[in-house]
Each structure stands twice: as C-alpha cells, then as structure tokens.
A and B are shown apart, each in its own frame.
Chain A
Amino acid sequence: MKRWSLIFGICLSIFTVFVTLDTFVLSSSYAEATQMNMAMFAEESEETESSTEETKSHRRSEKETEEEITENSETEDPIQITMNTYTAYGTTIYVADITLSSAEYLKTAFANDTYGKNVTAKTSTIAEDHDAILAINGDYYGVQESGYVIRNGVLYRDKANGSDVLCIYADGTMEVVSDRDYTAEELIEKGVWQAFSFGPGLVEDCEITVSESDEVGKAMASNPRTAIGIIDTNHFVFVVSDGRTSESEGLSLYQLATFMKDLGVTCAYNLDGGGSSTMVYQGEVINNPTTGGNRIKERGVSDIVYIG
C-alpha cells in the first residue's frame, strides 16, 4: 500500500508542476490580432456629417446675419496630449491629458500582435512596434481565463466573469457596465470600440464607487496603479502611479479614485497595477515600474492601450 501512496505522490507532484507551467510559462496563441474594425468610425462619421449638415442648415435659416460657421477638426491636431506629474499620498503620479478628434486614435495592441495565454512583452516594446505616441499597460487579459476582451472593435473573448467592464465607445464616450447585464456581442452592437475586464470601476457619474475597504484581489495595500478616465467626449486621462519604493508608497484604490475625481473625470476605471504599471511617452518610459520595489524594471504584459 505504501508503494501505491508513493506512486500517487509522484503523480500528484508531476500534475502540480504541469499546472504551474500551464499557468505561468506555457504560452498558447489563440489568434493573430492585427485587425481593427474601422467600419465603426465610418458609421460615426456619416452620423456626424449628417448631423453637422442639419445644424448648419438650421443656423443659416435662423439668422442670415450670423457669422460664418467655421469648419473645425480638419485643420486641428487630431491628438493633443498634455503630460503632468503630481505628488499625492506620498506617491508620484503621472497624468496624460488626452484630447482626440476621434476615439479611433485610442487603440489597443497585444504583445507580439497575438491574442493568447502567457504571450507577453514590455509595454515600451509593444508601444514601439505600433508607433505609439503614448501608451499604458492594459488589463493583462492573458492571466485570466474569462472576462470580455474587445479590442479595436474586434471581439476576442466573450466569457463573463462577473467583473466590471470598461467600455470605450467609438463615439468617444466611456462607461463601466457589468458583464451580467450585457453579452460581449451586445456590447459590440452598442458600438464598443474597446472593452477591458479588470476593474473595479473607480468613478461613475462623477461619484467615487469604491470604498476604503475595497481592493483588487484582496490587496489592501498601496501599490503602483494604472487607471483610465474620461472628462468629456474624446477627452481622456491616462494615469499611472509609482509605488513599492521608498520614494513612492503607492496608492490604495480609494486614493486612486479620489485622485481621478479631483482631475475632473466623470468616469474612471482601474487597470492592471503592481509591476505592470507603465507609461510610455514618445518612446520613453516615464514612470518607475517595479515588481518588488528593489529594482526598477518593466514587466512583460499582455496588452497595452495607446494613442497613435
């Protein structure tokens, strides 16, 4: 009998090693991910043009003496980015204030342009591969086996996991929904351009939606953080904080939410933090990414959000 127990113990150990490798090491490529559903913006553009034509016609008929309506957008820069650095809660926080002429410039990319498991690359590498002006790490979809993944208007995963989903629409708006309320296909039909499943939502309708005891994965501590928020249509903020170092303590979710609200966002969402938190601007990593706090070094991530 003891021999059978020994054999069982060996089998259990081999199985455990396999599970460990399967979780952290073995990579699987599910799909190549280079396509973008730009048809979403063709529809948006048609609606905007017809709406603009109606508005012009309405104004001209109302007041013939009114000043000539100036054309906008065509001569303006489609991407405007203002970078700021703050210190709050003993932490350095980097804020990118982004105004776009269209949400099509807010894109996402996968590591190695591959949708899969344990497929990772540094945020700066992925950003460089896609000529990103500005980039932050995404929701690290690759470590999860569920949670909606919609990128650049294309659906990659439709398995819900009960989490808050950040939806960025092609019309330049943003909201947090529950995957219990919508299927991924319904979100695509609603015009969702990007969907992330990490969370939680931090600010909704200008109000903080996390409590001081809320945390991700039972983490109660201050950590490096990455978040995205919206101030107005096509006016976004990317926020990355340092943490786990003597110079920067890091933020709790509540502190992050408070900071986002003070920036004036109407909606904000927490993305993957910790060692993943990275902001790249014009090819340079501008924060201090660290996993353990003892070495400043980027970590490989599954995906990024970028402007370009």
Chain B
Amino acid sequence: MYISGKELLKQLVVYVGATVFLAFFGMIYECFSHQVYSFYMIYAFLIPLVLGAVPCLWLIWKKQRPRKVSVEFLNCAIGTFSLGCIMKGVLDIYGTTNRLMIVYSVVGVVLLFFSLLLYKTVPSKVHTVDANQ
C-alpha cells in the first residue's frame, strides 16, 4: 500500500532522468527549428522536476513514504503533462494548432487531482505489509 524507501529512491532517479531527458530534448529540438522558440518546448523539463523530483526529495528528507496508488496517479499526470507540453511545443514551432491539445490538460489535471485525493504518508520507519505479498 505504501512504497518502500528503496522504491522512493528509484522514483527520484526516474524523475531526475525524465527532467534531464526533456531538457536535452528541448535543447536539441530548438537547434533544428530555425530559431523558432516555444516556451513549452524549452520549459517542459520543469514538469517532472517540480511535480516529481522536488516532492520526492522532500519526502526523503522528511522520512515519509507515500501511498503507491497516489504515486502511480502522479506518474500518469506527469507523463500526460510532459507529453502535452512537448506536443504543444512542436505545434508552436510549426506554427499550427490542434483543438485536441486540451485533452492533455484535462486528463493531467484529473490525474493530479486523484493523486492528491489519495495522498497519504507513513513515516519511513513504519513497516507496512503489501496486500499483494
């Protein structure tokens, strides 16, 4: 029900990895875009950083472990927002729009809402039994 300390560290590595990947992706894409800039493309890396890595670091520092279901919803929200940001950047640079882009925002907000709704932590020292074991 609650992720382990080891899993929390693994999550942190994933968030940092995603942050670095999006930062490089944005940088490289901008190199080939004939100097057409999109803030969505440039700042997409902030999503896994602010929504993922920073809260994760905070929880590790506070020695807390969150519920698995909350983390899974958060991961889905981060994925949705990140992908939406990249797509928006691509469209911006091309100079076009698409009415379907709103789906990323709506789905991301809903997932984030459920993540917060189901958020609960226990101190790291508390031993929890996983229902699946």
Residues of chain A whose beta carbon lies under 8 Å from any beta carbon of chain B: 1-2, 4-5, 8-9, 12, 15-16, 18-20, 22-24, 140, 143-146, 216-221, 223, 244, 274
- Whether B69 sits at the interface, judged by CB under 8 Å, is yes
Fill in one digit per residue for B62-99: 1 if any A CB lies within 8 Å of its CB, else 0.
Answer: 00000011001001100110010001000111111111
Given A22-B98, A218-B92, do A1 and B34 touch, yes or no (CB 8 Å)? Answer: no
Q: Closest A residue to B35 by CB, please name it.
A: A221
- Whether B38 sits at the interface, judged by CB under 8 Å, is yes
A15 with B37: CB separation less than 8 A: no
Q: How many angstroms between the C-alpha atoms of A244 and B35 in the bound complex?
A: 11
B133 to chain A, nearest CB (A): 14
Contact residues of A: prevailing secondary structure: helix
A contact residues around B95 at 8 Å (CB): 140, 143, 216-217
A199 to chain B, nearest CB (A): 12
A144 with B96: CB separation less than 8 A: yes
B37 with A219: CB separation less than 8 A: yes
**Residue among B34, B75, B91, B98 having the largest count of chain A Cβ atoms under 10 Å:** B34
B96 with A23: CB separation less than 8 A: yes
B35 with A144: CB separation less than 8 A: no
A244 with B98: CB separation less than 8 A: no
B34 with A223: CB separation less than 8 A: yes
B39 to chain A, nearest CB (A): 8
B75 with A5: CB separation less than 8 A: yes
B contact residues around A18 at 8 Å (CB): 100
Given A16-B87, A244-B34, do A2 and B72 touch, yes or no (CB 8 Å)? Answer: yes
Given A12-B83, A219-B35, do A5 and B72 touch, yes or no (CB 8 Å)? Answer: yes
A5 with B94: CB separation less than 8 A: no
B contact residues around A20 at 8 Å (CB): 87
Q: How many angstroms between the C-alpha atoms of A296 and B12 in the bound complex?
A: 47
A16 with B83: CB separation less than 8 A: yes
- Whether B36 sits at the interface, judged by CB under 8 Å, is yes
Q: How many angstroms between the C-alpha atoms of A146 and B79 in the bound complex?
A: 29
B contact residues around A15 at 8 Å (CB): 100, 103
Residues of chain B whose beta carbon lies under 8 Å from any beta carbon of chain A: 34-39, 68-69, 72, 75-76, 79-80, 83, 87, 91-101, 103
Number of A-B residue pairs with CB-CB distance less than 8 Å in the complex they form: 63
Given A1-B68, A19-B87, A219-B34, do A8 and B76 touch, yes or no (CB 8 Å)? Answer: yes
Given A145-B99, A218-B37, A221-B35, do A23 and B79 touch, yes or no (CB 8 Å)? Answer: no
Q: Closest A residue to B68 by CB, please name it.
A: A1
A contact residues around B75 at 8 Å (CB): 5
Q: Closest B residue to A219 by CB, please name it.
A: B36
A23 with B91: CB separation less than 8 A: yes
B100 with A145: CB separation less than 8 A: no
B83 with A218: CB separation less than 8 A: no
A21 to chain B, nearest CB (A): 11
B contact residues around A220 at 8 Å (CB): 35, 37
Given contacts A140-B95, A223-B34, 18 further A-B contacts (CB under 8 A): A5-B72, A5-B75, A5-B76, A9-B76, A19-B101, A24-B94, A143-B94, A143-B95, A145-B99, A216-B95, A217-B92, A218-B36, A218-B37, A218-B92, A220-B35, A220-B37, A221-B36, A244-B34
Q: How many angstroms between the C-alpha atoms of A1 and B72 in the bound complex?
A: 7
Q: How many angstroms between the C-alpha atoms of A216 and B36 in the bound complex?
A: 9
B98 with A221: CB separation less than 8 A: no
A contact residues around B87 at 8 Å (CB): 16, 19-20
Q: Closest A residue to B100 by CB, please name it.
A: A19
Q: Give 28 pairs: A residue, B residue, CB < 8 Å, sorted on A.
A: A8-B76, A9-B76, A9-B79, A12-B79, A12-B80, A12-B83, A15-B100, A15-B103, A16-B83, A16-B87, A18-B100, A19-B101, A22-B100, A23-B94, A23-B98, A143-B95, A145-B97, A145-B98, A146-B97, A217-B36, A217-B95, A218-B38, A219-B37, A220-B35, A220-B37, A221-B34, A221-B35, A223-B34
